Structure 1
């Protein structure tokens, strides 16, 4: 294992052309944008990437393109489990690893049903570990198709295997996050908070970093928060309140709104999505304009 994962890890959008095909030039532009704005790593092929709307080959092509464009500048993880028998999922994990990503992320909700306890889930994880050699793995509490949060006990077990390096937590509340942080403390399993509202409290409690969807609008603000929450506590607190106040707006018609927002920021991608698309009217565009103004004000206050 190299440098432990830390800081901002955006959950990458996927660029599509007007016909709905993968737009690799747009993927390149997104990759550069995230890195230029200070991302410490990238989570490709995730829910924000519209992973469930991609074929297996497209998932592999997308991950490989991000790897090629990144050229080792930051580490990359990508989801590698999409249902079916555990043996089949292990095979796809190996295929995803062959694209060059640094780690392959497991979705617990793809291994067992919603009613299953953590015993069967741990058994499935053990089978995947045994079937995937030394591939570094991750865990993501993906909300779709159903939301399964992991217990501190399961995370402690995962940490002891020395195979897991990334965990995207979606429990959101500090009182639920803290026991998980304690469970993996001192291990190679690095925990990332998905929730903007609790970003600063979780960093203060010891998460390695953040992976919020709002980083698909203004990643540089999260980069600053991760880097300066200790040495600039007053500014960090002020920024946290700003981020929290903006969070409801970023969820409106997401991820299409994020693509539209980034296009206005100069990233050459369309707003085309494979998930449900929405009509945007003057009201929606006024909201995006307000977001841009508020982000610019926040950046000015931070000297960015």
Structure 2
């Protein structure tokens, strides 16, 4: 089926969920953020998702969220689309204010978080009523996204809710956090012929989901090796055996998310010179003290990443 859209913006492929670097005083480090934007683009990002949970959006003021989004849009400078969230409130009035602030960043899309559409867990009627309230107050000319953010709770859309969103013709992406391949497949089929792209966020099923029709990968390990996910997405047919090895490495690497992410990702970027500090607002403990031998784990991830980059670079006809 031919896909149609009234929007020119397309968000698909490898879409990093952006980190927010802080300096040692706790302020946003915009120099580090600019280096991060350049790193994402140099390593094959197709779009950027700013002011997301990986950005520690729940720990940023509204002014900081707006400034962060504007900065990313400015520095990306149209090279890749930028979508922005910062949707963190349960109060519907506050949601309108923060989503309007996201609109004013100039981003190519604004992302709505599903759990804030149903903060009391009341079900479909509450979610659709709140969504309709927001849609009436957001520019109809601006593409929107959906994000099944796991905090404060993971609110997955059921098929009827997703169909409602598709029928509205307002949405171009869903960051799928079902972590279930069969659900991804069902959603891909449901969205067929629409503008909405299904972007899986779970590394364990990333390659299988892309092979099954997911429009890309939007998980946290885009902060370590987005280019390797991009090779799997676009070039894995060049060496199926290498693709199988790489897919296994990516799954096992991503298990380390439990070891203090996003500080773990900031530690990686400190090593490669993107960030000066690993300071976080969401993590208030020493990750090395809590997770013994953390640097040794990161060493292996770095070594494996460079190993696979070298093997890919050596392929004939690359």
Q: TM-score range by the shorter chain?
A: over 0.9
2:109 aligned to which of 103, 107, 113 = 103
The 2-side partners of 1:160 and 1:236 are apart by 37
What is the root-mean-square deviation in Å for CA atoms of aligned residues? 1.7
Q: Tell me the CA shift for residue 232 of structure 1.
A: 4.7
Partner of 2:10: 4
Q: Is the contact made by 1:253 and 1:278 (CA closer than 8 Å) also made in structure 2?
A: no
CA deviation digits over 1:3-60, x for unaligned, max 9? 5221100000001001000111111111111011010000000000000000000000
TM-superposed deviation, 1:277 = 3.4
Which residue of 1 is the match for residue 242 of structure 2? Answer: 235
1:43 aligns with 2:49: yes
Which one of the candidate residues 95, 99, 107 is aligned to 1:93? 99
Contact 1:9-1:40 at 8 Å conserved across structures: yes
Q: Deviations over 1:84-114 (max 9, x none)?
A: 4434422332221111111111111112224
More displaced stretch, 261-270 vs 162-171: 261-270
| Farther off after superposition, 34-43 or 150-159 | 150-159
Match of 2:82 among 76, 79, 82: 76
Q: Which moved more, 1:78-87 or 1:165-174?
A: 78-87
- In structure 1, the partner of 2:231 is 224
Shift of 1:235: 3.1
Query: Which residue does 2:69 correspond to in 1?
Result: 63
Q: 1:41 to 1:174 in 2, by over 3 A?
A: same
CA distance in 1, matches of 2:168, 2:55: 29
How many residues get paired? Answer: 304
**Correspondence 1:260-275 to 2 at 5 A:** 260-275=267-282
- Picking from 207, 213, 237, the partner of 1:200 is 207
SS at match of 2:300: helix
Cα separation, 1, equivalents of 2:223 and 2:252 = 16
Match of 1:259 among 259, 262, 266: 266
Q: Which runs of 5+ in 1 are unaligned?
A: none
- TM norm structure 1: 0.95
Structure 2 segments unaligned to the other structure (5+ residues): 1-6
Whole-angstrom distance in 1 between the partners of 2:306 and 2:36: 20
Partner of 1:138, secondary structure, is strand
Residues 200, 237 of structure 1: 8 Å contact kept: no
Q: Any idea what the Cα deviations from partners look like across 1:231-250, whole Å, max 9, x if unmatched?
A: 55443332211111212124
Q: 1:232 and 1:203, CA in 2 relative to 1: closer, same or farther beyond 3 A? A: farther
**Cα drift, residue 211 of structure 1:** 0.7
* TM-score, normalised by the number of residues in structure 2: 0.91
